[in-house]
Amino acid sequence: MRFIVQPTVAILLGARSGIKDARDGHPPFLWALAFHGKRRLELLRSAVASIRDLVAVAILLDVISQALIFHEVRPGAALLVGPLLITLPYVLTRALSNRIVRGRGPIESSAHIS
């Protein structure tokens, strides 16, 4: 079940962040991360803030799964597999949702104008 729930939540968080990036006029996440060195630290902080609790839960669930299934825990695997199930879908969705929102035309402000 965690192979479905955790990536799904990561996709939802990535879409939310990507839409916010597009509304703020920022380039897609992966592009900015690779080619905009001045914003790289800010982007990484934003990503970590969005998914840090989810990554912690992923690691914990991976440890529990290993203990229940294999009757032993391999911390290296837990530290690799748990975050990978979260980070990869988050990063890809954040970049893709930004491109989709930008491709639809003018971006409306999130503030309501009376």
Residue 84 located in a structural domain: yes
Please check whether residue 78 lies inside any domain of the structure. Answer: yes
| 106 SS3 class | coil
Is position 114 within any domain? no
Is 107 inside any structural domain?
no
pLDDT at residue 113, rounded to an integer? 44
Identify the pLDDT of residue 110: 52
Q: Return the pLDDT at 112.
A: 42
pLDDT confidence of residue 71: 92
Q: Write the single-letter amino acid at 102.
A: R
In a domain, 41, yes or no: yes
Distance CA 83, CA 75 (A): 12
Residue 90: inside a domain: yes
**What are 108's two structure tokens?**
């409306």
For residue range 65-99, what is the model confidence (pLDDT) as tens digits? 888 888 999 988 888 887 888 888 988 998 999 99
What are the tens digits of pLDDT across the range 23-79? Answer: 988 888 888 888 888 888 888 888 888 888 878 888 888 888 888 888 999 988 888
For residue 41, what are the CA distances in angstroms to 36, 76, 78, 104? 10, 26, 26, 28
Domain interval for residue 61: 2-100
So what's the pLDDT on residue 19? 92
Write down the pTM of the prediction.
Answer: 0.71
Indicate whether 111 belongs to any domain.
no
Q: How many domains does the chain have?
A: 1
- Per-residue DSSP letters for 41-87? HHHHHHHHHHHHHHHHHHHHHHHHHHHHHHSS--HHHHHHHHHHHHH
What's the pLDDT score for residue 106?
Answer: 64
Residue 66 lies in a domain: yes
